[in-house]
Structures are given as structure tokens and as C-alpha cells.
């Protein structure tokens, strides 16, 4: 993402209760207005007075945080990742989802997983297998192949390109599902905005830089 300091909280693209009954309005309100907002505020606070790094894009902050001064390094890692992951999370969902991925993503799913159900199971295994807080992510590599990764805390899968992110921090589901992360995953899956995810894959494929031939 190309956004730069000062970062602003993007509005939720639907109403707080638009994803009910799968995800409750209270969860969405706290998740967007408190948790997501806090990552934005913290990142802006960390970068205030750091003019050299205010020019960095969100992507660069997420990938090159090790180059930052010691006193802001870990904070930027956590909060830039939080901004990046949550921006995608809320956009990945929709109140009236289309039930299946569109071409060319559908073809990539067939190549990489066989079918959508298998991909869902691989993603669910990652979501359930992430110990503690983190994310399960469907990613595309530079060649357009798909893969599933899990990340801890607010780490991102960059430089792999994340297409679809499942937040498995308890704040994403505890009010609605308590300890039942698997039930949350199944509900979350029904909300996936496949037209948006498919479009994102198409854009990623069109922007690929050809590998230079020796």
C-alpha cells in the first residue's frame, strides 16, 4: 500500500451491523473504531518528528522496519503491520458476498489447490494453527502462484502479496464466538468479498515486473 504519514482511518465500507449474524455489530465497532484506529494513531505518533521516515510508504514501513532507529523499530513494525493488515481485513468482507472466486483467480486456485474447498481447508488449518494472536493469509507470489501463510502478531506476509486475510486475534471474534475460532473462521469465510479479492489478484498479475532474462 502506498499510503504515507500521516495515516488516516479509512471508513468502514459498510454498516457496523451489516455482517450480522456472522460478525456482530459490537465486534465490528470495537474492531474498526478502537483497535484499527489505535494502530493508526500509534503509527502516526511514532513517526511524528521522524521526517526521514515520514516519506516511507506503508509497504516500506512493513518490510524495511529493521532499518529504522532502535527506539521506534518494534513499535513501527507492530503498528504499521496493524494498519496494513486491518485495511485489508475490512475490505475483504462484504455484507452480500458472491459465493465464488472469479477468473483469473479461479484458475490460479485450481492450479495451486485443486478447488476452493481445499483452499478453504488449508486456510482454516493455518487460522487454527496460529498459536496466539496473528493472521492466516492467502497470498500470491510474483509468478501468480497462490499460497497460504500464517503470521504472528501484526507481521505481514510481504513481499508475498496478501489477497485475503483472516484476523485470528481474539478481538476479532471473542464477543461472538468466545474460544471457538473455527466457528468464527467458517462464518468469516461466508463473508468474503470474492469480486474484490479476484480484482486484486487481477491487478497484481497485471503489475508483475517480468523477471529479466540473463
> In the complex, which residues of this chain contact Mn ion (CB under 5 A)?
167, 169, 172
With respect to Mn ion, which residue has the nearer C-beta, 5 or 135? Answer: 135
CA pair distance 144, 201, nearest whole angstrom: 8
Return the residue matching grid coordinates 479476484.
198
Give the nearer residue to Mn ion in terms of CB position, either 18 or 98.
18
Question: Phi and psi dihedrals of 182, rounded to 5?
Answer: -65, -40
What is the smallest separation between the CB atom of 118 and Mn ion, expressed in angstroms?
26
Shortest distance, position 82 Cβ to Mn ion, whole Å:
7
Q: Give the strands of the sheet with 134-140, arranged side by side.
A: 146-152, 134-140, 161-167
In the bound complex, what is the minimum distance in angstroms from residue 167's beta carbon to Mn ion? 4
C-alpha cell at 89: 481485513
Residue closer to Mn ion (CB basis): 154 or 193: 154
What is the nearest approach in angstroms of Mn ion to the Cβ of residue 100? 26
C-alpha cell of residue 61: 514501513
| Residue with smallest beta-carbon separation from Mn ion | 167
146 in helix, strand or coil? strand
C-alpha 98/C-alpha 108 separation (Å) is: 18
**One-letter-per-residue 3-state SS of 39-52:** HHHHHHHHHCCCHH
Decide whether 39 or 201 has the Cβ nearer to Mn ion. 39
Nearest approach, Cβ of 171 to Mn ion (angstroms)? Answer: 5
Cβ proximity to Mn ion: between 53 and 124 the closer is 124
- Pick 85 or 193: Cβ nearer Mn ion: 85
Bridge partners for 162 per DSSP: 139
Min dist CB 137 to Mn ion, Å, is 13
**What three-state secondary structure class fits 163?**
strand
8-state DSSP, 35: I
Amino acid at each position: 500500500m502506498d499510503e504515507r504519514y500521516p495515516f488516516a482511518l479509512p471508513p468502514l465500507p459498510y454498516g457496523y451491523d451489516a455482517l450480522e449474524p456472522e460478525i456482530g455489530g459490537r465486534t465490528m465497532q470495537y474492531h474498526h473504531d478502537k483497535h484499527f484506529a489505535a494502530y493508526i494513531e500509534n503509527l502516526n505518533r511514532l513517526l511524528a518528528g521522524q521526517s526521514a521516515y515520514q516519506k516511507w510508504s506503508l509497504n516500506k514501513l512493513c518490510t524495511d522496519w529493521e532499518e529504522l532507529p532502535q527506539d521506534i523499530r518494534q513499535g513501527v513494525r507492530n503498528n504499521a503491520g496493524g494498519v496494513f493488515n486491518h485495511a485489508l481485513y475490512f475490505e475483504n468482507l462484504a455484507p452480500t458476498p458472491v459465493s465464488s472466486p472469479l477468473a483469473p483467480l479461479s484458475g490460479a486456485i485450481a492450479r495451486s489447490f485443486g478447488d476452493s474447498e481445499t483452499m478453504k481447508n488449508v486456510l482454516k488449518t493455518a487460522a487454527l494453527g496460529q498459536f496466539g494472536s496473528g493472521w492466516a493469509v492467502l497470498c500470491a507470489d510474483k509468478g501468480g502462484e497462490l499460497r497460504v501463510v500464517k503470521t504472528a502478531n501484526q507481521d505481514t506476509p510481504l513481499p508475498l502479496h496478501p489477497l485475503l486475510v483472516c484476523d485470528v486475534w481474539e478481538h476479532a471474534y471473542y464477543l461472538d464466538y468466545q474460544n471457538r475460532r473455527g466457528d468464527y473462521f467458517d462464518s468469516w469465510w461466508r463473508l468474503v468479498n470474492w469480486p474484490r479479492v479476484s480484482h486484486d489478484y487481477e491487478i497484481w498479475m497485471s503489475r508483475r515486473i517480468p523477471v529479466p532474462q540473463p
